[in-house]
Amino acid sequence: MHDALNKEISRLSTAAQDLFDAIAEVSRDGPGITRPAYCEQETKAGELIKRFAESEGLECGIDGGGNFQYDLPGKDPHGMTVMASHLDSVPLGGNYDGLAGVVAGTLVQAACKRAGVIPPRRLRTLGLRGEESPWFGTAYLGSKLALGQLTDKDLNELTHISTKRSLAAHLQALGVPADAASIHGKRLRHEDVHSYLELHIEQGPVLEDLGIPIGLATAIRGNIRHPFAKCHGVYGHSSTSPRHLRSDAVIATSQLVCAADELWKSILDEGNNDDLIINFGIFATDPAQHAMTKVPGDVRFSFNIAGTNNDVARDLYRRILAEADRIQKEFRVRFDFGPKVGTEAIHLDPALLDTADAAAGDLGLKTLRMPTVGHDAAMFARLGVPTGMILVRNQNGSHNVDEAMRIEDFIDATKVLALCALSATPRH
């Protein structure tokens, strides 16, 4: 069975590349790809996959949250294995982030159909909407809607950054009921999901650097975030303000960044926490007020702590806040960190991890067990669904216009996905 299935997946390589190319064409945004959540480009991506799925004899539809679903019935009418990822992209991103997982799921289903393989249970591929946080200021909207996790308050208050319309208005435009009760009534019951599998590009340089084609996610990093932090100093004339009398917001915030980096390095030097991450992704003065000869009085910045050990992350966060308190006294400034958001780290299913490792070994493929970042998989794992993630080696990172992926690596990872999806291991 496996040989026949793998041959069909290999034969579908050209169809997969054609699908990627067609979706890139309708998502093109200058040098990159932009598929805004709940907008035309995201919908066109789902419809192009639907056209392919229907041509392969799959059942297609839209769920209660506006997500695309592509189904292949199995032997057991009770329960299903879900393969999923997201259709949207960040602004000026790449074509494979999210999309690779949706295409892979439909390839597995099409290969089963072609090879005459009846899966042990229904195989459902979900093309989830709105996973990326830039569009509505929060992530995983498609999976939250699929699982009935959003409230009427969420639906009416979450607002699209580009259209300025609510999530409810976007759902209504898709012809989907936009009230929480209706969505919850049509939800995917997590108790019915035997396992959740997500293929996703790695989005980083590790696999490429090591020459390993496939990563197997051990955990999804948790995070502690302050997206709208500020440092308030005092504007002044740069040439008449001696150092000891300045309230320089740039120097103070820079001190905080350096102090955080030293704390990070000290934890890494202690060992066993090499998955810990700190990032200051936003660091800006006010363009309306900054000037070469002015002491900067305000800086806005963000910071993010991520890792798989929740206790280590929380301890680092406390130490960074202590450093901020010291720095603001020394440099006569005030830090305002604004709202704090975050999620706990979650470890993925060890049985699925072993199944994927064995499947890759049978195909002669090297793997690396490694943590990963936030994905729709987290929503299913937090509800107790056995969850696994297969990471595809890709080039030039992600969330940028140079993101790349070799089709050969994608096909190999899809074969691993297929063997995991057809596993008869019962839900524990």
Say what the pLDDT of residue 271 is.
Answer: 82
What domains, with CATH codes, occur in the chain? 1-221+346-422 (3.40.630.10), 222-343 (3.30.70.360)
Say what the pLDDT of residue 141 is.
Answer: 97
Say what the pLDDT of residue 314 is.
Answer: 95
Task: Quote the CA–CA distance of 147 and 5 in Å, as a whole number.
Answer: 31
Burial class (CB in 10 A: 0-12, 13-18, 19+), 342: middle
Say what the pLDDT of residue 272 is.
Answer: 64
Say what the pLDDT of residue 428 is.
Answer: 57
Say what the pLDDT of residue 374 is.
Answer: 87
Say what the pLDDT of residue 395 is.
Answer: 97
Task: Quote the CA–CA distance of 181 and 179 in Å, as a whole number.
Answer: 6
Q: Cite the DSSP H helix spans in 194-248.
A: 206-210
Question: What number of CA atoms fall less than 13 Å from residue 89's CA on the CB side?
Answer: 32
Annotated binding site for Zn(2+), which residues? 86, 97, 132, 200, 399
* Backbone phi and psi for residue 403, each to the nearest 5 degrees, phi listed first: -50, 135
Say what the pLDDT of residue 342 is.
Answer: 85
Strands 32-33 and 28-29: antiparallel
Tokens of 387: 């969850």
Buried b (16+ CB within 10 A) or exposed e, 142-179: bbbbbbbbbeeebbeebbbeeeeebbbbbbbeeebbbe
Annotated binding site, which residues? 86, 97, 132, 200, 399
* Residue ranges, the chain, pLDDT below 50: none
**228 residue type, one letter:** F
Q: Cite the DSSP H helix spans in 12-132.
A: 13-27, 40-55, 99-115
Q: What is the pTM of this model?
A: 0.90
